[in-house]
Amino acid sequence: MALEGVLQEFGLADILQLIYFQRKAGILNIRGKIDTVELSFINGNISGLRSQRRSEANRLGKILIKRGLISQKDLDTAIEMGKTESVKVGNIFVRHGLVSKDTLMEIIQAQIIETIVQIFTWKEGRYEFIPQEIPVDKEMPVYLDTQHLLMDGLRIVDEWSLVEGKLDLNTIYRRVTDPEPGKLTDIEKEALSLIDDETDVSTIINISYSGDFETSKAIISLEEKGIIEPIVVKPLDEGTVGVERRLESPFYFAILGVVLVVLLFTLKGNFDAFKALQRTTSGFNMEKIKTDIDIYNAVNGRYPSSLEAVTKENDPWGKPYIYETTDRGFKLFSAGPDGVAQTKDDVY
C-alpha cells in the first residue's frame, strides 16, 4: 500500500525516517510548486534522485565543464550515446576515462543532498511512496545513508536559515552592470565569474571552491549591489501540487484521522519497532537542537543558560529535553520512555 499525503501534515524528515526505519525499497515522488522530485530507495537508503526541473545529464555535464574536466563536445557526445544505449551520462564519462568514478560520485551525492535540503524548505507539496524493487546500478551504485543525510540536512538547513528568503538554489542570475574596480571581495569575484545567464545557484555553489555558505552570501551581496539580477522562472503548474482548499473540509479530516489511526496501530503492532522509531526521532531532534545551541554560542559568545533560549520542543514522550552546561560545553539528552533521568533508557 502506497504512503501518500501532503508535506504540511507529514514532513519530509518524518517520511525519510519511516522509510529508513522500515528498510523500504521503492520510489518517493514529491511534487511542489517549483519542482517534482523522484527519490529511489534500497533497504531504506537513498540510491538515486531525478528532478523534473533539472536535467541530471545537463547539470552534471555543466559542473564537469566548469571544472575543466570535460568539453562541451564530450557532453554532447555522451548525451547522444546515452539516448541510443540507454546508459547514464555519468557512466559514459567513466567508461571513456574522462572522469574518475570517485569524482563523479562526489558530485552526484552532493547534488542529491542539495536537492533534499531544498525540499526541507518547501512550505507545501504532495508526496507518494510506492514500494517496489529498485535495480542496483552495478557500474555506478549510489548509496546515501538516510540517517546521516537527515542529520547533515538539518544542520545545513540551519545554516541556510541565515539567508532564508534571500536566495533560492534554482535561481538563475544575469549580470546587469560591471562592478567598480576594487569593490568586490575575492569570493564575490569568483561568484560573478560563474554567472552566465543559464547556470543556477545550485550549480554555481557546486563549481565554486569557496564553500557553499560563503558563495551564497557572495551572490546575495552581488544582487544587493545591483551587479546581478535574477531571471524570472515560472513555477510548475500548480495542478501538480494538488493542495486544494477542499482538503480543509470535515470529510478530509475524518479520512486523515482514520489514516493516522491505521498508521499508529500498524506501528504499535510491532511495539519494539514503535519504540525504536521514537528513539530515532529523539536522536534526530537532539542533533538539530545541538546545532542551534552551537549557533547561539557563536553569536553570543556563551552557551544559553536554559534550553528555552533555542527551543521549546519536547522529546517524543512529551517531556522536556535535559540540558546542562559544563566546563567543556554542554550536555543534552532525553530521559527516554520512563521519563526518569540517569536510567538505562536515556537517549543521548
Q: What is the pLDDT of residue 232?
A: 66
Cβ atoms 310, 293 nearer than 8 A: yes
The predicted-structure confidence for 231-282, as pLDDT tens digits, reads as follows 865 555 544 343 333 333 343 343 344 444 444 444 444 444 445 555 555 6
CA distance 170 to 114: 11
- Closest-CA residue to 50 (of 62, 42, 40, 64): 40
Say if residue 21 is in the same domain as residue 129. Answer: yes
Residue 309 lies in a domain: yes
11 and 154 belong to one structural domain? yes
**Together in a domain, 153 and 189:** no
In a shared domain, residues 194 and 325: no
Domain assignment present for 23: yes
Domain count, the chain: 3
Taking only the tens place, the pLDDT of each residue in 140-188 is: 888 899 988 887 776 666 666 666 667 877 789 999 999 988 889 988 9
Is 194 a domain residue?
A: yes
Hey, what amino acid is at 92? Answer: I
Regarding whether 142 and 190 lie in a shared domain, the answer is no
pLDDT given at position 266: 46
Q: Please report the pLDDT score of residue 161 as a whole number.
A: 65
Pair 186, 159 in one domain: no
Q: Are residues 14 and 51 in the same domain?
A: yes
Q: Are 172 and 200 in contact (CB under 8 A)?
A: yes
In a domain, 236, yes or no: no
293 and 181, same domain (yes or no): no
Please give the DSSP secondary-structure letter assigned to residue 27: E
Show the domain range for 186: 172-231
Q: Are residues 97 and 220 in the same domain?
A: no
Share of the chain above pLDDT 90, in %: 21
Residue 264 inside a domain? The answer is yes
Number of neighbouring beta carbons within 10 Å of residue 79? 15
In a domain, 43, yes or no: yes
Domain boundary among 163, 188, 217: 163
